[in-house]
Structure 1
């Protein structure tokens, strides 16, 4: 037993015991006791967001970067519902996250009390586990379980409801540290079977990326690919799993991937998928790698057994941590004189051709600007984005060299870029952090610019403004050509708005203005916003809006 302490103090002590260094929140009266305890806990930094969705996304990004649970504190009712967008990102992206929700007092539960809400019902379809702490003595136990659950197997979000009177009640229970999980390692006989299948292949390819990735996994993947002359692709929005300049790197299997890469996967006879769940985007809607029975020999490696055999039935399924798997794979004798010799070089050459900037309509050549930025940034720079057609330019023209340099939601959540960038800059203040957003995407969480100013997070936010919801307009023109509805946007002067929030800001209307503006932003003391005004016709790196509309009208006329 320890000396008596209030539940709020006990909870914050669990943060310290479990290595929590930062908490994101929007304050609420339901958890004042915990906020008061944080006042006297310098080991835990507190970042205040302007909206619970932003706080949850910040915490999710922190979890992505560190592999440890991001911690988000929100209040009951509307606070919890606002945070749901970040919880969904964590669920889809397999990110460790703990959402702590202040709750009404126990005696008021289920009585229609002010802002009362069933947290388990709210988050039950998204979270790995939800619970309400109904006894202050159980705070250490349940928080340790939350840490273990969020980080084990397939990582994901956990939600704990904390009744107000639990946080103000006394407890003498000691602190509890979550039991560290030992990463699963592949069985030797499975590695022997893997080599036998690889030796029998003619057109193999490796697809990397997913939870529990690390610099060690990155180095192991690159070593294995080079030793066996294997093309090495990455899953959707996992571009930092592999050095994009590595001679075996083949590109990202994302939205609208390089057709040559897609064809290479389609024609492969063996796919070694490590860490990835092989979702619908990565597999081209399960067209490149069919489900449940792939055409290719599929060897699927994932740290969570629940992800093996869930959608694709593999010829060989290995439950293993990616780094441990590649340690074992690199202990195998490489395949001598493989029939696919030269495939990795050809795949990388195709990738290099793919990232050569294409001309688009308008005074701003976004591909050219981003290609310059990819060369300008250091290897450890962090690049974030949300969702929208602007992200196609980011995914195609930016390059990633190290693990932990890309924060992008596989969930396709708008508004993610800025909160994620704030979390990244607070975690690694010496590294440049660039956030990309479209004009619609940015307006989802634009208020977090004030949070960046208050926190002293010197992020660079690049808002690509084409004055519309570009992705939806593109789909409208594909399916209902010439009939746009609800996709035109009246946008503010984003630079003026950012200056009013206390940030530096500039507007770019032609390509030549982009590089000087970025240089000034990187040198600025404090956050900076650069509004880049692009032509609405420049909807994708390859096709204009008019070309998409004309093709759809032609199909309708011919159909």
Structure 2
């Protein structure tokens, strides 16, 4: 049976985007940052009056028209009664491909992958009640990781809201904590400007999810008179002044012009930061997702590292911002970071944090994070410098010596001319080489007693095979041990080549996000490396890939357990395994039943051929890799330890651990 075309039925119209600048009041969360004016029309200073072209359209037609004006190409939607006015309009709209996932959570993660790959908001359209509540996890994930989503959900007719009617749900109330902004439309005339506001808010400042609720009767209403499409987002000067509090010595807000004086404060902080960097002997850069927020970010990071000869480590979300083949790369730091990165950041006298929140996954024991830098700060010879878009994140977890608020790339451009050229740092780089020799990341059990494949080896081999493809490969993952092995053993060289859940730790993310990435960038090779437990949370989306012939490639690390849970239960709970073994289905049969080609391998001598067959297949394909169970992720920082107090693989200790585990459990 041939796969259907992405496109739906033909026949619609497109009009130019009308989006004047914000100048009036709109309800927003109290900590929403000062909006950036991002659209081309804003930059041109265009101010438009009433829009007559929408008169005579229904609410559903206006929604689609506004999406077209925002150049939307894909929508991820599961149908339902309350959104039929919009769906009926999409029936005649060939400009937008509507993708039908199997579940709203899958739709949300597809939109996340699409947004992270395209740089544009991912669009989700769902129905009322459970259709909306099934989106809570993707909304929270997007909020935590700064991913722009525009979610449009239906609602029962306005006359029935609050009557306990079928699917009567307070969606706005439920989603308020997991969106940047949400709004329930109660008049068809509101639709144009509210959609404009939704796109602006989703992309402004730190990106994130927004929600518009459209009751069914409003979707059916007809617009009878011309309306303004002008957004009504306030300038929020008072908020900008409050946010400036993260910069030292802010003057009285009533006595100065906020824009010029705030920029002066930021520039002073940049100058002090440059002075600390120039005076440091053992500096280190910690790069986060903020370095990927603009295309020029990685180049600026490389320039700073080269100019001052500073080694670079990255957070999980910062992987790809710095070429890991560079000798100054320390790879990832944190609980499952490399031993050399964790030790180096503890020994550095100046820690330069670029676009990272410094959460517990990075710092571990906050009180003992970066002790050498703190000592240097007390002596005026170093410290911790934090470049961060969101002022609220500066000094939130780690007390810093200097905080620089604003877009990280923009502020790096201002600082680079102030940084002195350094030809070499012999002592510091010598120490880095020593640490890499002492704690090699490729030291693990390469011949497990089961005779099965080792997960780390699978990732290493995939990295080697895809190296010639350069930035043409994008990897997605779920959350868990497989995610850490991918982060540790794949060599990250190019920006935006890893799409993975961060602060929310969302399982089931890998497959649907890969589908979204592939739709946004069909020329890329998109590989979901997934754990078996993760995969089962959204495996129904295999059918979505098959239905639209979306050529994602899926590798399942199949060890029949939830590995991160069993690791902790083994190390800290005397191998008392509880709810961590799943009894997996036959993934090959599942995939084939959904119309997906599937391959299974289990032995080391099958690995290269299996990976090559998967990579060369033109279409969606699944590779079921039977891997050794109870394999640990090392290095690992145990609870209560400082960042440099990590566990590493030791052959004798591992033999004793496995023997004790077998004695206790039979595994």
TM over 0.5: yes
> In the alignment, does 2:548 pair up with 1:494?
no
1:439/1:464 contact within 8 Å kept: yes
Find the aligned partners of 1:290 and 1:160 in 2 and give their Cα distance.
43
Alignment of 1:212-291 (within 5 A): 213-286=293-366, 289=369
Which structure is larger by alpha-carbon Rg, 1 or 2?
2
Q: 1:393 to 1:22 in 2, by over 3 A?
A: same
- Residue of structure 2 aligned with 1:395, choices 479, 487, 501: 487
1:50/1:447 contact within 8 Å kept: yes
Find the aligned partners of 1:316 and 1:369 in 2 and give their Cα distance.
42
What's the counterpart of residue 188 of structure 2?
136
Which ranges in structure 1 are unaligned for 5 or more consecutive residues? 555-559
Structure 1 runs of 4+ aligned residues shifted over 4 Å read: 174-179, 183-187, 293-296, 348-353, 543-554
Find the aligned partners of 1:15 and 1:188 in 2 and give their Cα distance.
39
- 1:34 Cα deviation (Å)? 1.2
- 1:200 Cα deviation (Å)? 2.4
- 1:143 Cα deviation (Å)? 1.5
Q: 1:206 to 1:482 in 2, by over 3 A?
A: closer
- 1:464 Cα deviation (Å)? 0.6
- 1:376 Cα deviation (Å)? 1.6
Q: 1:33 to 1:461 in 2, by over 3 A?
A: same
Of 186-195 and 197-206, deviating more is 186-195
Find the aligned partners of 2:660 and 2:423 in 1 and give their Cα distance.
46
Normalised by the length of structure 2, the TM-score is 0.77
Q: 1:347 to 1:158 in 2, by over 3 A?
A: farther
- 3-state SS of 2:493 partner: coil
Q: 1:178 to 1:259 in 2, by over 3 A?
A: farther
> In the alignment, does 2:273 pair up with 1:194?
yes
Q: 1:402 to 1:482 in 2, by over 3 A?
A: closer
What's the counterpart of residue 73 of structure 2?
21
Find the aligned partners of 1:127 and 1:521 in 2 and give their Cα distance.
38
- 1:395 Cα deviation (Å)? 1.1
- 3-state SS of 1:461 partner: strand
**1:179-204 alpha-carbon deviations (Å, 9 max, x no partner):** 9x9x9989443332221111222221
Of 121-130 and 183-192, deviating more is 183-192
Number of equivalent positions: 550
What's the counterpart of residue 379 of structure 1?
470
**1:105-127 alpha-carbon deviations (Å, 9 max, x no partner):** 11111110101111122112221
1:248/1:348 contact within 8 Å kept: no
RMSD: 2.8
Q: 1:467 to 1:283 in 2, by over 3 A?
A: same
> In the alignment, does 2:285 pair up with 1:206?
yes
What's the counterpart of residue 557 of structure 1?
none
What's the counterpart of residue 537 of structure 2?
444
- 3-state SS of 1:233 partner: strand
Normalised by the length of structure 1, the TM-score is 0.91
1:17/1:175 contact within 8 Å kept: no
Find the aligned partners of 1:4 and 1:66 in 2 and give their Cα distance.
34
Find the aligned partners of 2:481 and 2:551 in 1 and give their Cα distance.
26
- 1:178 Cα deviation (Å)? 10
- 3-state SS of 2:273 partner: helix
2:454/2:628 contact within 8 Å kept: no
Which ranges in structure 2 are unaligned for 5 or more consecutive residues? 1-51, 236-258, 378-382, 635-648
- 1:78 Cα deviation (Å)? 1.0
2:336/2:633 contact within 8 Å kept: no
Q: 1:287 to 1:231 in 2, by over 3 A?
A: farther
- 3-state SS of 1:5 partner: coil
- 3-state SS of 1:433 partner: strand
2:108/2:139 contact within 8 Å kept: yes
